[in-house]
Amino acid sequence: MSARDDILANIRRSLGVSGTDAPRRASVEARLAAHKRGIAPQRGQGDLAGRLAMFIEQAQAVATSIARVSNIADAPAQIAAFLHEHDLPARVIMGEDARLRDLPWEEAGVAVSYGRSFGDDLNSVSFAEAGIAETGTLAFVSGAHNPTTLNFLPDNHIVILRAIDIEADYEAVWARLRDRFGAGLMPRTVNLVTGPSRSADIEQKLLLGAHGPRRLHVAIIEA
């Protein structure tokens, strides 16, 4: 017998069931089809303004820096100011995302390159799929528009997030993914990011910037 058959047979023997047990299969199929929501914390479940306020509170609590921008066209200027404030070169890398590419980077004095990172980029810019109010978390989906390396390799990860994309909880993000990719289908990588990279492996002292970004900066677009 193959290892697979051995293991499945041993599970069934231990559970005292057979592999063709229809009610058990039906119970599994039903649970998968329903993908029912469980208990979700009340704190994320506000209206748009409430979710925005909760997102900011939770994100700041995990050392994410936040700027509020009224219009998306103003985002490059805000990002230029962030780079200047931290003595960083006005140069960013981003994915092939029309929503980002069409912004006035040149006017803001920010040089832009496109593509994945190989570890030599100081600053990256991503357009977040969604924000999650419950824990101040950002959701990213892999693809040409946002290669996953941009979320991890640069020292400073800068994110544009529309306030209308701030959801109450993770479940709302799964609903978006099912709409876009189809039920049971996923993109290669989904990253949920809650603050900049950190480690507490040396005497449990919390230090930022372990392997991923040292800074995580979010420009929230309110309009």
Partner 1 sequence: MTAYPTSPQFKNNSRAALADGQLQKALGNVRTNFIAKRAGAAQRLPEFDALRDQARDLRDHVLAHLDVYLEVYERKVIESGGHVHWARDAQEASRIIVDLALARGARSVAKGKSMVSEEIGLNAALERAGIKAVETDLGEYIIQLRGEAPSHIIAPAVHLNQEDVEAEFRRVHTWLPQDRDLNQPESLLAEARAELRAKFLAADIGVTGANFLVAETGTSIIVTNEGNGDLSQILPKVHIVVASIEKIVPTLEDAVGLLRVLARSATGQDMSVYTTLSTGPRRVDDRDGPQEYHVVLVDNGRSSMLGSEFEEMLRCIRCGACMNHCPVYHAVGGHAYGWVYPGPMGAVLTPALIGIDKAGHLPNASTFCGRCESVCPVRIPLPKLMRHWREREFERHLSPAVSRAGLGLWAFFARRPALYRFATGLAMRALAWAARGRGRFSSLPLAGGWTDKRDMPAPQGDTFQAQWKAQQAKQRKRT
117-176 residues near partner 1, rule: CB under 8 A? 118-119, 134-135, 137, 142-144, 147-149, 151-153, 169-171, 174
E-only strand ranges, 87-155: 91-94, 111-114, 123-127, 130-132, 137-141
| Contact set for partner 1, span 60-99 (CB under 8 A) | 62, 95
- Token pair listed for 12: 């069934």
Edge-first strand order for the sheet with 166-167 is: 137-141, 130-132, 166-167
Nearest distance in Å: CB 46, partner 1 = 15
Q: Which of 6, 57, 85, 222 binds partner 1 (CB under 8 A)?
A: 6
Nearest distance in Å: CB 77, partner 1 = 28
User: 13 Cβ partners below 8 Å, 6+ apart?
Assistant: none
Residue 186 interacts with partner 1 (CB under 8 A)?
A: yes
Q: Which stretch binds partner 1 (CB under 8 A): 49-57, 67-75, 77-85, 110-118?
A: 110-118
Written as one string, the DSSP assignment of 50-96 is HHHHHHHHHHHHTT-EEEEESSGGGHHHHHHHHHHHTT--SEEEE-S
Residue 46 interacts with partner 1 (CB under 8 A)?
A: no
Nearest distance in Å: CB 125, partner 1 = 15
